[in-house]
Structure 1
Amino acid sequence: MAYAQIKGCVILTVGLQFFLVLWSYMYDDGKGAKPLPRPLQHQPRDGSDGVAIKTQTPRNPEASPASAMKDPGLGAEEWDRIQRALHWGGPDHQVTTVNMSTSPDNSTFVINDLKNTYHVGDELHVTIVAKNFAGVPKRYGGDFFQAKVYSGKQKASVFGEVLDHQNGTYSARFTLPWAGEASVAVRLIHSSEAVLVLKQHRNTDSDRIYFHGYFVGKNPQGARVEERVECNIKWDGVVLSAQRNCCCEYQDARTRLTWQCRKPGTLPCDTLVYHSVGGYRNRMTALEKILLDSKHVNRWLKGDARLIRVIASNANIGVREPCKPGLPTLIPAGFYLNNVWTSFVCGARHFTANDTAQCLKDKHIYIMGDSTSRQWFDFLIQTVPTLRRMNLHTMFQVGPLMAVDVQNNIDLHYRSHGLPLRCFKTPMSSLHYMSNEIDDMVGGPHTVIVFNMWAHFTNYPLTFFTYHVFLIRRAVVALLRRAPGTKVVIKTANTGYKDIYGSDWFSMQLDRILREAFRDVGVYILDVWQMTACHYNTENIHPAPVVIKNEIDILLSFVCPQ
């Protein structure tokens, strides 16, 4: 997923009380910005008649005014709770120079009340102090810090929870889960000033990533031609053109989501055949570029280098109940020791190739999402010798892809989540919305559905992503009602990019929406954020095989808890 390659209605009732997500990094002081309108209030800007039509069939841009989109099950109270979970503090004044921003060289951290020895299971607390480039302590919050305790010798690490006190200081809390020596590491992912830049561009610069549509047909002279134009989603805040009659529009009948492309020079709208990523626009100012350059982003702090000594104890922190739906995500969710992840969420097992085949025996496994979930598809094929990839003559980034194991009666599938998708040139007909795919599934005790969605949505308004998520939730709830034996696993976002197109801060915000939407639905939310944030490998949007192996072990532990 590198940038040149990227990747019946049931309304769910949830509790109205505000829930602070367990893995939240920031303290919500209740002073958020003006609330966003709920996604269900969205209406197409050009005024269509709202009549559902077939997927990828052009619409008449001259149609009459629209009715509102159908509510996918998102209530006003739930949307308010999501917005509060997304709240992020920051500067209360205009940022005019880099010197005003948080300096990774001047900021520091100290271990609070360091003891001579700790026992396994004890907590460790650290204070982080943010300073600007003039060395002056900051008086407001909003910096994006990540912290871990680690041991290079033992190939061990554990993720820490960071709490923002909104005054330039932060607290980090750790559980010490292994015996031996360890150190603390804190890094500044983004200064609060850089987060402000990310916010502004997400809200006003959604077409900084754009797409191409390829129209194929015969021109007036009878010659076969292909015409390429710019395309993008149609949503409030995403403007492809201000001109009337500029575009061809394609509305999906069930999701009511609309894709739009500029009209080609000679061909009609109904000749759209292919889709691909188009390119990237960098509209940042000179100051913004500096705030997001490599000298200011993803930098380790110089802080307390004292060793932490941990000795064994009687605390049995590794024992957990079997993996099942509805378990909360903890901080920490687990830890690495000798490159093996031990979960604190549930009693995850570790699977050999033969164990994997036996676990998946008689199963239909459907994996949907982006290239980070396609890594799971590829890993399972590499792990189980009897799984054979079928050549469906499709584009590997998009799918559909399929592998079968006749001996164990396994069929494994992968399909991308559909538009918007950054990919090589691929047929439009291969791009399916996940909610539609789930609606069309029979489900049952032999069906496992795994999906993720985040990396290709980072540059769009939060309302657009939320609408997508709640369409999927509605489809999942309906599936579980008609086929309650179906196993549904959500793979969370993982860390990776740090730039204006796909920053971890964008990903984390989208991940909060996904978790909030599904926390009471009866699915298993598999946290890979912490697994990728605290591992010693160089961070990559596509994690290393050692990380994928541990992710797959948790997936299989959910499918086969005993």
Structure 2
Amino acid sequence: MLLQSTLRFNYIWKSMTLDYRLGRVSLFLLACFLTSACLVFWRLPTVRRFHPPSPKPARPKNASIISAQDMGITQEEWDRLRKACDWPGPDGEITRLDQSTSPVHTTFSVEGLNDTYKVGDTIRVTITARDHNNTVKSYGGDFFRAKLLNLTLKAGVYGEVVDHSNGTYTVDFLLPWEGQAQVDVFLIISSEGVHVLNKYFESKPHIRYHGYFEGPGADGVKIVEKVECNVKWGSAHAHWSKANCCCEYKDVQTGSVWQCERPRNLSCDYWVYHEHGEHQFPATPFERQLFSRKLTNVGIAAEKHIITVLPNASGIGEPERCRPGLTTPVPAGFYFQDVWKSFVCNTRRFNSQQRTSCLSNKILHFLGDSTTRQYFEFLERNVPGLKRMNLYTHHKNGPLMAVELKNNIIMHWRTHGFPLRFPKMPASDLHYISTEMDYITGGRETVVVFTFSAHMTLHPLTLYIHRVAKIREAVLRLLKRSPETTVIIKSGNTGLTAMEYGNEWYTRQLNTVMREMFSDIDNVIYMDVWQMTSCHYTHVNIHPGNVIISNEIDMILSFVCPS
């Protein structure tokens, strides 16, 4: 190789003396040769392959500057979440209200209605969406709620709406009880309304919060200053980007940052109270019309077909024992005589004595929002001897604690951290769920139930993913140090219908994210109450009635005490 290099050098040198014009080219070739030779001898032991740069995913319109790394997840997981949350809709902006879906002109019908059916059969319902001109829609994206009911039997079952992206939708209903039933369909939000919600997904938060600073003034008189506060996340804090604008409070464990406008006369150390503030949905006047009471949460009129269901000798098979790692089918169960018959697992009915026996020597931690506080309040009322301790906190804001000394039952409830739409309360009482979990020892006697969605419906989806990623890390740490801990994730409820507080469609998206992000952790229980709160015959409410809460508690206890 060295001999070849020497001969090649002599040849180049001779060429340089022949022609001046070729000389400049030869000098260039000589430099390239010498450089290559040096590199060959210098780098011979470590040959590197060339790897072309990975293509960057196309950024959708109105995309956030937040990356998968910022959210604490991988790019592959972010792609999977976006695919799971993908929702069809109009190809472009809708400029006329009459182009939107009309609940008056939209219809549904039962396909091939028979005179009778048997328990375990299914029926198919077709929904045809039309605009205000009575024209069938050419695209999908409408958000419907569908259920099968029998008010006399206090029975109901959920139906999953399948979007065919052409203005038609189908719902397959299982017929799980003997007797009669009829279909009930509601248009929750039109596809045009969903399009608007998607448009503002990653914009600034749709709500303001207040912070109260209290401290001594120059003359010793107490000063109280009320300022605006909000989460610091991506472009959501752009209007506070000026220098030295804010007091920032960073949670070391999660990296989450809460910020408040800097008070005039007090330092940031005097922040004492947190309070919800005003809503600020950033829609245009035209877009707001899409969320009027006449167009959202409206029942779809149809001919009331009575479906007659006869008994079936084979019936419906019994589900398996309640345990972690079970998936949620559709339907997940049904109500009959106000009792939830689960298809997920064999849920038990617990009376007061059985609840006490199940919870004996247990420590319960309910974390989240007011829907888990309903669990605390139900057990407080229905477990004999369980008494609330006076922690000198607000009875709704918490934190709360109750004990039953005879059977050694301890129960806690604490709301999740910022952002939170609660009345004025000490900021120090707001702990992030992930941070709180790190202070739970865990073990066979420990039950942790948490939920996290209702207060996030006015904030970016990427922020929610970041918080869930931190909760997932904390759950894994808890189960690593205490594998026998019972961890139950409660999904969000239906019934969040007022646009100024969020909406049911967005809650469904958040449920999808939570379910996907915990799908590969087998020893966690995902309790999907979406169907339980959707198909009951009573009016849907973000705070379900006592009969629904009772059935949810029975499901929780069935996982804690399966036999």
Structure 1 pair 36–115 and aligned structure 2 pair: CA distance change class (3 A): farther
Q: Give the direction of change, closer, same or farther, for the CA distance of 1:32–1:181 in structure 2 (3 Å limit).
A: farther
**Contact 2:65-2:234 at 8 Å conserved across structures:** no
**Structure 1: stretches of 5+ with no match in the other structure:** 1-30, 43-70
Q: 8 Å contact 2:451–2:489 — kept in the other structure?
A: yes
Greater shift, 195-204 or 376-385, is seen at: 195-204
- 1:283-337 deviation per Cα after TM superposition (whole angstroms, max 9, x unaligned): 4322222210110001111124221111111334251111111111111000011
Give, in angstroms, the shift of residue 79 of structure 1.
Answer: 1.6
Cα distance in 1 for residues equivalent to 2:458 and 2:427: 21
Q: Provide the residue aligned with 1:502 in structure 2.
A: 502
1:75 has 2:103 as partner: no
Deviation of 1:397 (Å): 3.1
Measured after TM superposition, the shift of residue 399 of structure 1 is 1.9
Deviations 1:6-51 (A, max 9, x none): xxxxxxxxxxxxxxxxxxxxxxxxx995676665533xxxxxxxxx
**CA positional deviation for 1:534:** 1.1
Instruction: Say yes or no: does 1:129 pair with 2:128.
Output: yes
SS, match of residue 525 in structure 1: strand
1:555 equivalenced with 2:528 (yes/no): no
Contact 1:39 1:466 (8 Å CA) reproduced? no
Give distance in 1, aligned partners of 2:537 and 2:497: 17
Counterpart CA distance in 2 for 1:519 and 1:557 is: 21
Residue deviations 1:346-380, cap 9 Å, x none?
00011101111111011000000000110000000
Equivalent residues of 1:139, 1:168 under 8 A apart: yes
Distance 1:88 1:279, change over 3 A: same
- Residue 428 of structure 1 deviates from its aligned partner by 1.1
Listed one character per residue, the Cα deviations across residues 160-181 of structure 1 (whole Å, up to 9, x for unaligned) are 0111011111111111100111
Aligned pair partner of 2:69 in 41, 48, 51:
41
Q: Give matches, 1:189-204, under 5 Å.
A: 189-204=188-203
Would the alpha carbon gap of residues 38 and 248 (structure 1) be closer, same or farther in structure 2, given more than 3 Å must change?
closer
Counterpart mapping for 1:18-97 below 5 A: 33=60, 40-42=68-70, 72=72, 74-97=73-96
Distance 1:340 1:539 in 2: 17
Q: Over the residues paired in the alignment, what is the CA RMSD in angstroms?
A: 1.6
Question: Equivalents in 2 of 1:39, 1:146: separation in Å?
Answer: 33
Does residue 290 (structure 1) correspond to residue 289 (structure 2)? The answer is: yes
Q: Between the two structures, name the one with larger relative contact order (CA 8 Å, sep ≥ 6).
A: 1
Equivalent residues, number: 502
How many Å separate the matches in 2 of 1:178 and 1:335? 9
Asked if 1:253 is matched to 2:281, the reply is no
* Structure 1 pair 414–167 and aligned structure 2 pair: CA distance change class (3 A): same
Amino acid at match of 1:383: N
Q: How does 1:130-209 map to 2 (within 5 A)?
A: 130-206=129-205, 208-209=206-207
TM-score if structure 1 supplies the norm length? 0.87
Q: CA separation of 1:483/1:37 partners in 2, compared to 1, >3 Å: closer, same or farther?
A: farther
SS at match of 2:108: strand
CA contact (8 A) 1:277 1:424 kept: yes
CA contact (8 A) 1:390 1:404 kept: yes
Contact kept, 8 Å, 1:458 with 1:502, in 2: the verdict is: yes
Q: What is the aligned partner in structure 2 of residue 309 from structure 1?
A: 308
Equivalence map 1:404-423=2 (5 Å) = 404-423=403-422
Match for residue 278 of structure 1? Answer: 277
* 3-state SS in 1 of match to 2:169: strand
The structure that has the greater radius of gyration is: 2
In 1: Cα distance, 2:300 partner to 2:109 partner: 11
Aligned to 1:277, the other structure's residue is in SS state strand
Gaps of 5+ in 2: 1-57
- 2:211 pairs with 1:213: yes
Distance in 1 between residues matched to 2:77 and 2:240, nearest whole Å = 33
SS of equivalent residue, structure 1 residue 211: strand
Which is richer in helix? 2
Counterpart residue number, 2:542 = 541
1:197-254 CA deviation, whole Å, 9 max, x = no partner? Answer: 2222333241x21111111112234322010100000001212524221111111111
1: distance between equivalents of 2:454 and 2:314?
Answer: 39
C-alpha deviation, 1:478, in angstroms? 1.4
Q: Is the 8 A contact 1:184 1:304 kept in 2?
A: no
Quick one: percent identity of the two aligned structures?
Answer: 47
Q: Write the letter of the residue equivalent to 2:505.
A: W
Give the deviation of 1:122 after TM superposition.
Answer: 0.9
- State the shift of 1:427 in Å: 1.1
Query: Partner of 2:34 in structure 1?
Result: none
Tell me if structure 2 keeps the 8 A contact 1:38–1:76. no
User: If the length of structure 2 is used for normalisation, what is the TM-score?
Assistant: 0.87
* Counterpart in the other structure of 2:26: none
